[in-house]
């Protein structure tokens, strides 16, 4: 996967930029608030159709600029030996995506066309933050590599909202039993697929991340990822999990009716980062926690490559300020030169002193210029 | 300050905008179009609207469109009255009829279960379906099979499941429309979900020799 050419018009402080890239490491340096992260955000928008920084499209468009009409992000991407053209155009009220000139009616259909792994400073929240962030991480990654996962996720989400709506009607309509069973079944069928896929993914991630962590971290400690499915004893294949979920839903029915919400199912899943068997969230140092996330992201990259057949694009935002010297060196030197990597840094030397990049760019007040 | 439109026009826009998929702007465009069009055009539309309401109704038995009390399908004696197909909307009947392969009778639910939209079993034609099935038991041709032909999405699946429990508890066979490859398509272009469903619902070509 390779972005050969990128053009960005009217995106945050990037008024106009056009650049060509090859494989290898590309450094984008500049002071704070010059537009480095905006560039990575623009690339990542082509991956998911959504920003990793905001849910408000309005925040990404310079709508106060005079004569502003639309924001355009255009890319020429090499994928599996073929070139594909991507165009995302939006303003505060509309959003359109085109691939090779054909409109993509639903944003969900964009996922998986460009594969990328993103690492940002806020990813530390994956270790420290609420379970919802970790579920979202799993959903975004799995949706990129598995169409059936996305399908089950969308259906599970709808079935869950329907069931919750029904539970809330209980006070007015006491005899809900038969109706609930119909939604329980939808939740069990689609939810079991989610749990089975997540369990498999986390097991893979754990194995790979464990090796990566050994490379980045200096000590001898060992990283493992532990899936904590809901219902908690869910295991086996999707069919087995579905029947476990049916039982769990039936068991919690009265509770659910009282609370007006569904208390069991993969919408309550979580996973833990364990360092030598202890939760990194509670016992890990900041450095250890960062290494955990980075190791998992690199594991994700490996996993994506093995499931799609080619390495994804790697986007590293402000990584240099995130890691200490020895971790940084170990990490940068472990990067595979086949992978197209974009790294932002406040100083070019922070990167170039450790590895030799393919190209170096300076970002200043939204203007990107290549340096030799 | 916006000019207020004359009352009749305002009323027309309001009525048009209450139609499904028609927003305020489309309603305005349609209303102005009707205002500009030849007199005849608007009168024909008005009389078509009145005609539809006066001459057509929903079949008392199955809920399909009917000119009289019963629809042309329910009154057709060649149809197999022991076989029911349950669909969500009247136009689903048209779709199945286009195929021409189904020879039984229909029952239109007039929607699908959706707690989010406040649609409960009482809002659908479920009681009338069960009454029809029960009433047939005392006749010469009791219902022997009900085919659930609701849409293959979350709401349609839940509705089918809800109905299947009620129907099978009456000792009547209950089936669901099969899912899989579209006729005339090729494997090469089928998406992986469709292929999965097709694999799950595969069937033997011939019974093995005993």
Residue A158 domain-assigned? yes
Tell me the β-bridge partners of A90.
A71, A95
Q: Could you say which of A278, A311, A344 is where a domain stops? A: A311
Residue B176's closest CA among B164, B193, B162, B194? Answer: B164
Regarding whether A317 and A260 lie in a shared domain, the answer is no
8 Å CB contact of A159 and B154: yes
Backbone angles phi, psi at A315, to 5 degrees: -115, 115
Whether the predicted pLDDT of B1 surpasses 60: no
Considering the domain architecture, whether residues A184 and A320 belong to the same structural domain is answered as no
> How many structural domains is chain A composed of?
2
- Quote the minimal CA–CA distance from A173 to chain B in Å: 10
DSSP 8-state assignment for residue A119: E
Return d(Cα A42, Cα B151) in angstroms, integer. 38
Quick check: B158 and A185 CB within 8 A?
yes
* A314, A23 Cβ separation under 8 angstroms: no
Residue in A161, A181, A190 nearest the CB of B116 = A161
Residues of A in contact with B116 (CB under 8 A): 161-162, 165
Residues of A in contact with B120 (CB under 8 A): 169, 173, 179
Provide the pLDDT for residue A201. 94
Last residue of a domain, one of A311, A326, A359: A311
Q: Is residue A5 part of a domain?
A: yes
Task: Tell me if A159 and B196 make a contact (CB, 8 A cut-off).
Answer: no
Spatial neighbors of B97 by CB under 8 A, at least 6 apart, are B73
DSSP string, A16-71: EEEEE--SSEEEEE-STTSSHHHHHHHHHHHHHSS-SS-S-GGGGS-TTSTT---E
* Model confidence pLDDT, tens digit, residues B124-144: 999 999 999 999 999 999 999
- The residue of A145, A147, A179 whose CB has the most chain B CBs within 10 angstroms, and thus the best one to mutate to test that interface, is A179
Q: What is the mean pLDDT of residues B57-71?
A: 94
- Residue A287 and residue A168 share a domain: yes
* Chain A residues whose beta carbon lies within 8 Å of the beta carbon of residue B121: 179
Residue of chain A whose alpha carbon sits nearest to that of B159: A182
Structure tokens at A143: 């949706």
Domains identified in chain B and CATH numbers: 71-176 (3.40.1360.10)
**Interchain contact, A179 vs B162, CB within 8 Å:** yes
Convert the pLDDT of each residue in A308-342 to its tens digit.
889 999 999 988 777 778 778 888 888 888 899 99
Reading the block at residue A368, the tokens are 């990107």
Is B151's Cβ below 8 Å from some Cβ in A? no
Residues A249 and A278 in one domain: yes
**Is A148 in contact with B192 (Cβ distance < 8 A)?**
yes
Best residue in B25, B114, B115 to probe A by mutation, most A CBs within 10 Å?
B115
Between positions 7 and 66 of B, the ones with CB within 8 A of A are none
Residue A238 CA to its chain's centroid (Å): 24
A&B contacts, CB < 8 Å: 56
State the pLDDT at residue A69.
86
Query: What percent of chain B stands above pLDDT 70?
Result: 97
Chain B hits for A185, Cβ within 8 Å: 157-158, 161
Strands A278-279 and A270-275: antiparallel
**Which residues of chain B does A148 touch, with a Cβ-Cβ cutoff of 8 Å?**
192-193, 196
User: Domain check: are A5 and A15 in the same one?
Assistant: yes
CB contact under 8 A, A182 and B161: yes
End-to-end alpha-carbon separation of chain B, Å? 86
Closest Cα partner for A183 from B161, B125, B126?
B161
Rounded CA separation B164/B156 (Å): 12
**Does residue A200 register a pLDDT over 50?**
yes
Q: Per the CB < 8 Å rule, is A178 touching B115?
A: no
Q: Which residues contact A122 (CB under 8 A, 6 or more apart)?
A: none
Token pair listed for B210:
């005993």
The string of pLDDT tens digits covering residues A138-148 is 998 898 888 88
Q: Do A165 and A274 belong together in one domain?
A: yes
State how far Cα A49 lies from the chain centre. 12
Shortest Cα–Cα distance, A169 to chain B (Å)? 8
| Rounded Cα–Cα distance for residues A107 and A90 (Å) | 12
Contact: A147, B120; criterion CB under 8 Å: no
Q: A342 and A253, same structural domain? A: no
| For chain B, counts of helices (H) and of strands (E) | 7, 6
Q: For A167, which residue in chain B has the nearest alpha carbon?
A: B115
| A103 and A163 part of one domain | no
Residue % of chain A over a pLDDT of 90: 63
**pLDDT in the model for residue A102:** 92
**CATH no. for residue A346?**
3.40.50.300
Strand boundaries in chain A, DSSP class E: 2-11, 14-20, 25-29, 71-79, 82-90, 95-99, 102-103, 116-119, 223-228, 270-275, 278-279, 313-316, 341-345, 359-364, 367-371
Q: What is the pLDDT of residue B209?
A: 63
Least confident window among A113-127, A213-227, B61-75: A213-227
Tell me the nearest-neighbour CA distance from B116 into chain A, angstroms: 5
A178 CB near a chain B CB, below 8 Å?
yes
> Does residue A298 sit in the same domain as residue A350?
no
Q: Do A162 and B120 touch (CB under 8 A)?
A: no
Q: Is the pLDDT at B147 greater than 90, yes or no?
A: yes
C-beta atoms of A173 and B120 within 8 A: yes
Domain span at residue A359 reads 1-115+313-372
CATH code, domain carrying A273: 1.20.1050.90
């Amino acid at each position: 996967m390779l972005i050969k050419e990128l053009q960005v018009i009217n995106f945050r402080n990037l008024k106009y930029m056009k650049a060509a890239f090859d494989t290898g490491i590309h450094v984008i340096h500049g002071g704070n608030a010059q537009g480095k992260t905006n560039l990575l955000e623009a690339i990542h928008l082509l991956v998911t159709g959504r920003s990793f920084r905001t849910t408000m499209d309005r925040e990404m468009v310079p709508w106060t600029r005079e004569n502003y009409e639309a924001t355009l992000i255009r890319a020429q991407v090499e994928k599996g030996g073929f070139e594909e053209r991507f165009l995302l155009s939006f303003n505060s009220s509309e959003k359109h995506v085109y691939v090779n000139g054909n409109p993509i009616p639903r944003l969900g259909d964009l996922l998986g066309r460009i594969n990328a792994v993103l690492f940002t400073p806020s990813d530390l929240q994956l270790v420290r933050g609420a379970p919802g962030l970790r579920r979202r991480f799993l959903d975004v990654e799995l949706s990129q590599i598995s169409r059936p996962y996305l399908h089950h996720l969308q259906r599970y989400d709808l079935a869950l909202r329907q069931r919750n709506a029904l539970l809330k009607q209980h006070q007015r309509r006491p005899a809900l039993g038969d109706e609930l069973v119909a939604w329980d079944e939808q939740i069990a069928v689609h939810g079991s697929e989610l749990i089975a896929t997540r369990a498999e993914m986390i097991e893979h991630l754990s194995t790979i991340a464990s090796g990566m962590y050994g490379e980045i971290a200096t000590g001898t400690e060992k990283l493992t990822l532990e899936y904590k499915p809901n219902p908690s004893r869910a295991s086996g294949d999707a069919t087995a999990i579905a029947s476990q979920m049916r039982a769990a839903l039936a068991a919690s029915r009265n509770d659910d009716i009282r609370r007006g919400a569904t208390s069991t199912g993969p919408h309550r899943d979580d996973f833990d980062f364990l360092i030598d068997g202890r939760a990194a969230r509670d016992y890990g140092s900041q450095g250890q926690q960062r290494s955990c996330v980075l190791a998992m992201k690199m594991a994700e990259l490996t996993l994506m490559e093995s499931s799609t057949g080619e390495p994804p694009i790697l986007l590293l935002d402000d990584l240099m300020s995130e890691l200490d010297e020895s971790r940084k060196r170990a990490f940068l030197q472990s990067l595979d030169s086949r992978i197209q990597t974009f790294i932002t840094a406040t100083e070019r030397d922070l990167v170039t002193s450790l590895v030799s990049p393919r190209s170096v760019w300076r970002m200043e007040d939204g203007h990107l210029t290549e340096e030799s | 300050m916006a000019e207020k439109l004359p009352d009749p026009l305002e009323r027309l826009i309001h009525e048009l905008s209450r139609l499904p998929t028609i927003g305020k702007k489309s309603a305005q465009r349609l209303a102005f179009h009707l205002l500009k069009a030849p007199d005849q055009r608007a009168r024909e539309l008005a009389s078509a609207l009145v005609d539809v309401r006066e001459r057509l109704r929903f079949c008392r038995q199955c809920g399909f469109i009917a000119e009289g009390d019963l629809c042309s399908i329910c009154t057709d004696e060649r149809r197999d009255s022991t076989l029911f197909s349950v669909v969500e909307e009247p136009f689903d009947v048209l779709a199945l009829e286009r195929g021409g392969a189904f020879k039984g009778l229909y029952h239109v639910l007039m929607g699908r279960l959706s707690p989010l939209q406040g649609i409960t079993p009482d809002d659908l034609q479920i009681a009338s379906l069960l009454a029809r099935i029960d009433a047939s038991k005392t006749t010469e041709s009791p219902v022997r099979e009900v085919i659930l032909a609701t849409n293959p999405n979350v709401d349609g699946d839940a509705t089918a499941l809800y109905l299947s429990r009620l129907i099978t508890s009456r000792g009547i066979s209950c089936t669901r429309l099969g899912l899989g490859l579209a006729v005339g398509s090729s494997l090469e272009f089928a998406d992986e979900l469709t292929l999965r469903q097709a694999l799950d619902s595969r069937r033997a070509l011939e019974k093995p020799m005993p």
